[in-house]
Amino acid sequence: MTDSWLVITPPIIVLLIAFITKKLNPALITGIICAALIASDFSIFGSSKLTGGLIIQKLTNIDSFFIYSFLIMLGAVVTLIIRTGGATAFANFASKKIKNAKQAETSSLLFSFSLFIDDYLSNSTVGYVMRPLTDKFKVTRAKLAFLVHSIATPLVVLAPISGWSAMITDKLLEAGITDQLGPKAKILANPYFTYIKSIPFVFYSFLMIISVWFIVRKRISYGPMKAHEAIAAKTGNIHGGKKDTLSAADTFKTVKGTLADLFVPLFTLVCAITAGTLGTERFIKALGLQSSPSFLSLFFAGASTLLITLTFSLSRKKIKFAQIPSIIFGGFKLFYDAIIMLFLASILGSIIMENLLTGQYLAKILVGNVSLMLIPLMLFLVSAAIAIATGTSWGTIAIMIPITIPMVISLAQVNLPTTVASITLLFPAIGAVLAGSVCGDHISPVSETTIMAANSAGAQPVDHATTQFFYALPAILSACLAFLLSGFLLSYPIWINVSISFGVSLIVCLVMIKLLDTSKK
């Protein structure tokens, strides 16, 4: 199937239907049907068997159980925070210090930074907590989703203690980067420190994080986001002129709360995820579970946080024991739409990656027979295209790392096993794959993080994806420039390469944003 152009049509169909209808679930269902038909040579029986098998597989998959359970428990914690008045207490406290939309948006960015350890946590939590405050200053829900998403997703790949670091290290090890001599050793280096040394080349993340700060602090507005903000300023409607759809948690009557009702759950959650990230791998091996340590750590973090938060609230008589079922059900309703979207996106992603092999097809037609200097740029573009189409950064990294490492070794024309010093392209290439994967995941309307950020902020996923894309475009174009320059500077020391590539691209990025600004017009 990798030799047929048909393998790229399902994600394109999903994108077109989503943008035309403004509804993601029908687009995903249509994409699944098309992808299954193509994968089974247009056999109705074969496509039905494939789809049915994947539905059963996803429903019984231990990782799916962990992540969906985590979302429900997180929803229950968020519901509890709202019900006990924690979110309102924070908004009231912050409103005494925060006097305008600029300060409210800055607070959202700072809050996202504090949850850097996990993008699911940040994307799923910050919007709910910040809504009362940003609503007060007529910050549109699309803008809030952009603020949340544009810090959470680009930032987590730069955090060396996140679940991402474990996943990336594992993929580099599988690709042959190891400090142990053996038949599978291709590059003699510690895979974790190889990832760390590649971080300076994740240009998109740095450019996007700086861009969102620049946009907020300079009060810049343009593109579809400008239309949303104009409607909010004129009518007070922060949903782009659409009707507000309140979630179950939003309709709860809250009691008078304190900051402790907010920060005890959040502090517990961050500590639990940190501890879980460091300790669940041994637990998984001991029990023989076929699961990702990061998903199990999220599950345990959600369970322990919910238990501690419920105990804390009960002890202070903020809730009654009989209300616990309604709180947990409220958490389920809070993430019901997101879970359905994630489930459908997961099925589509599996067919695209495992049956259609769309990633390999794109890599084959775009990466090959190109100049060594263009490899970082090509890897960034290919990774971004795959992540946009599949909606998964982890899946893209899993596809691209096994392609990238052998490719850069072949281009270096060295004997195996070799060392990092003999492959000048290694760090820029890995950085390009990580940057492209994050970029595509960030702007994809079918990405799990896009759905989570939109759901958290109370925005429509398609509205969020549409408004965010134009704000991310300068960072995307500037990242292309950075990788192009990096390719031409491969013969120079890393610090010179990074300084020039990133410095020039950052200036270009900020100039583009400023030129696009129509806030004063």
Residue 449 and residue 153 in contact, taking contact as beta carbons nearer than 8 Å: yes
d(CA 352, CA 46): 16
Task: Decide: helix, strand or coil at residue 353.
Answer: helix
Digit-coded pLDDT (tens) for 260-271: 888 888 788 878
State phi, psi for 240 to the nearest 5 degrees: 70, 25
Task: Decide: helix, strand or coil at residue 177.
Answer: strand
d(CA 121, CA 351): 27
d(CA 293, CA 276): 8
Residue 516 and residue 222 in contact, taking contact as beta carbons nearer than 8 Å: yes
Residue 353 and residue 7 in contact, taking contact as beta carbons nearer than 8 Å: no
Query: CA 443, 236, 113, 76 torsion: positive or negative?
Result: negative
Which of 477, 467, 465, 464 lies closest to 511 in space, CA to CA? 477
Report residue 363's pLDDT band, with 50, 70 and 90 as the boundaries: low
> Among 132-141, 301-310, 368-377, 420-429, which is the least confidently predicted range?
368-377
* Residue 249 scores a pLDDT above 50: no
Residue 387 and residue 441 in contact, taking contact as beta carbons nearer than 8 Å: yes
Report residue 49's pLDDT band, with 50, 70 and 90 as the boundaries: very high
Percentage of the chain exceeding pLDDT 90? 26
Digit-coded pLDDT (tens) for 51-102: 999 999 888 877 778 778 877 887 788 788 877 877 677 767 777 778 888 8
Which of 140, 115, 123 lies closest to 230 in space, CA to CA? 140
* Residue 286 scores a pLDDT above 60: no
| 269 or 220, which is more confident | 220
d(CA 79, CA 438): 30
Joined tokens for residue 394? 């982890």
* Residue 357 scores a pLDDT above 70: yes
Q: Which residues contact 473 (CB under 8 A, 6 or more apart)?
A: none
Ranges of each domain in the chain = 5-140+255-344, 163-205+357-516
Question: Global pTM?
Answer: 0.74
